[in-house]
Structure 1
Amino acid sequence: MNRTVDFAGTTAVITGGASGIGKGIAKSFLARGSNVVIADIDEASLARTAKELGVLGLRTDVTDPESVQSLADRAVGEYGEVHVICNNAGVGPMSAMSSLTLEDWKWMIDVNLYGVIYGVHAFLPVLEKNTDWGHIVNTSSMSVVAPPPNLGAYVAAKAGVLGLTEVLDKELEQRNSVVRATALIPGPVRTNIMNSLRTRPAAGNSSLYDVDIADNGKNFRFLEPEAVGQIVLDAIRSNATFTATHAEWLPQVADRHTRIQQGFPPCKTPEQFSTEGNKP
């Protein structure tokens, strides 16, 4: 259901905001008169983008809950309130699951899932102080609903993001909160996520490797980050629990759900349930 949202004068905080989808989202909010705070672990990129856009840039390590809490505190201290948090920071190197080390798993889960958890934990109390509205946007991935090989750790984390966002939105609606939540499900977008290992702390043995999917021979349609920013704003206006970027992936999503349905036992009629109970 659509709601009346005036972005002018509101404040949006975006993690992973120095480049890619995060930067595109920041531009969309700026174009509608919002105050914008971008957060990123890449200090050089953060400084360039903050200067380019004329926004506040705060170095933030989303794997550190204290760093994320500091981001929330700084944003409130600067602007008084926050209406939108986009938990967007993510990393996407690849590896066969049989080759992943436990350190690989931990880093991927820490950034892609715990980064969102820490963002929700720090910002939800802030957003619920608003008298009009608030919104949480968590970036999941098209790879969750159409999973490819060699992205096991990434898909596992982003599936967690999808699930927690759906539950969160249901809980917020159930208690009539002014805050709602959206899972952003992006397909191929021109971003820097395929250069993720540059942000990883020094590690021991690792099987992870960066791959530019634009060079893998598949004919993907890549969106520009600014287009994703508009999709996010539309989702906030419509209170959408899910919003995706690429309609052409829908057949793959439908096929996956069909295969899941095929794993269920045959449905019983109400009469069968009443006479047979829950016998297999």
Structure 2
Amino acid sequence: MTQIEGRVAVVTGGGSGIGRGIAEQLIAEGARVVIADIEREALEQTAAEIGAEGIHVDVTDPASVQALADEVVARHGSVGIVVNNAGVGPLARMADMTLADWRFILDVNLWGVIHGVSTFLPLLQANPDGGHIVNTGSMASFAPMAGAGAYAVTKYGVAALTEALALELAEEGSDVHLTLLAPGTVRTNIKSSLRNRPASLAGALADVDISEGPARDLRWIDPIDAGRIVTRAIRNDDLYAVTHPDWWHLVEARQQQVREGFERYPVESA
């Protein structure tokens, strides 16, 4: 089990939404929390409100993530928990997307996690008692949806990174553990994901408030609820932290399609 109390935790995208909820719950369970975000105003306000430290970061820039790690170590001497949570969720049909669209969503959702893992993993491995990395994926990590294909590409990538790294660390007998957070509908400001998109990466991706569409009838949770699920997964060293287990039928339908593909082409005897 990973101890939370007394550990130094870093949460990217911690200025709002799920990141804030995770940070609040980590603080409630005794962690010293550094939240990192690209939006300075939200970062400073949230840090003051929840009792965290705030450090500006751009997760798409490896030098910025390295500077974050350096500053945390300079202040606290070590890092025990890292939550690579920063992400965006604009939508577009894939046939309409430009390469700039792809660059934007991949840079934030996938490369942001890669930068966080590559930067902080050595610090966690250097701890005598290891540590824990949480990567925020999505229910789209398991079952893609039309209109959100690019988002699913990034979240499938986050899932593969998390699962493969967990296997490698287990083979090495490492005390560093991994969790993939797979949130469903959470009350956040993901509906305004493009507010920080560089003008040079403008394209077909558009912000959509899914709470105003068919998804409004789904079960919605607050960020702090997601935070409680995450800290439970950290304590138990669980590989998956799922906010909406009642959505299993969506994942099961996709898994059944895969199974049918395997069964459709049986091995032919020589």
Return the alpha-carbon distance in structure 1 between the equivalents of residues 214 and 110 of structure 2: 29
Residue in 2 that maps onto 1:6? 3
In 1, are the aligned partners of 2:10 and 2:81 still within 8 Å (CA)? yes
Aligned residue among 260, 263, 270 for 1:262: 260
Matches within 5 A, 1:72-83: 72-83=69-80
Residue in 1 that maps onto 2:110? 113
Root-mean-square deviation (CA), in Å?
Answer: 1.5
Residue in 1 that maps onto 2:94? 97
Return the alpha-carbon distance in structure 1 between the equivalents of residues 189 and 202 of structure 2: 24
Which deviations, in whole Å up to 9, do the C-alpha atoms of 1:69-100 show, x marking residues without a partner?
Answer: 11111111111111110000000011111110
Cα deviation, residue 131, structure 1: 0.9
**1:253 aligns to 2:223 (yes or no):** no
Aligned residue among 31, 37, 41 for 1:40: 37
Return the alpha-carbon distance in structure 2 between the equivalents of residues 187 and 138 of structure 1: 15
Residue in 2 that maps onto 1:155? 152
Return the alpha-carbon distance in structure 1 between the equivalents of residues 223 and 162 of structure 2: 22
Matches within 5 A, 1:10-29: 10-29=7-26
| Bigger radius of gyration | 1
Aligned partner of 2:218: which letter?
F
Residue in 2 that maps onto 1:193? 190
Return the alpha-carbon distance in structure 1 between the equivalents of residues 122 and 3 of structure 2: 21
Aligned residue among 185, 206, 211 for 1:209: 206
Identity among equivalent pairs (%) = 47
Question: How many pairs does the alignment contain?
Answer: 269
Matches within 5 A, 1:63-74: 63-74=60-71
* TM-score, reference length from structure 1: 0.92
Return the alpha-carbon distance in structure 1 between the equivalents of residues 44 and 128 of structure 2: 33
Cα deviation, residue 176, structure 1: 0.6
CA change 1:68–1:263 in 2 (3 A) is: same
In 1, are the aligned partners of 2:103 and 2:201 still within 8 Å (CA)? no
* TM-score, reference length from structure 2: 0.96
CA change 1:204–1:225 in 2 (3 A) is: closer
Cα deviation, residue 247, structure 1: 1.4
Return the alpha-carbon distance in structure 1 between the equivalents of residues 18 and 95 of structure 2: 30
Cα deviation, residue 263, structure 1: 0.7
In 1, are the aligned partners of 2:86 and 2:112 still within 8 Å (CA)? yes
Classify the secondary structure of the residue corresponding to 1:184: strand
Residue in 2 that maps onto 1:183? 180
Aligned residue among 81, 84, 88 for 1:87: 84
Select between 50-59 and 182-191 the one with higher mean Cα deviation. Answer: 50-59
Q: Which runs of 5+ in 1 are unaligned?
A: none
Return the alpha-carbon distance in structure 1 between the equivalents of residues 264 and 191 of structure 2: 43
Residue in 1 that maps onto 2:233? 235
Classify the secondary structure of the residue corresponding to 1:168: helix
CA change 1:38–1:179 in 2 (3 A) is: same
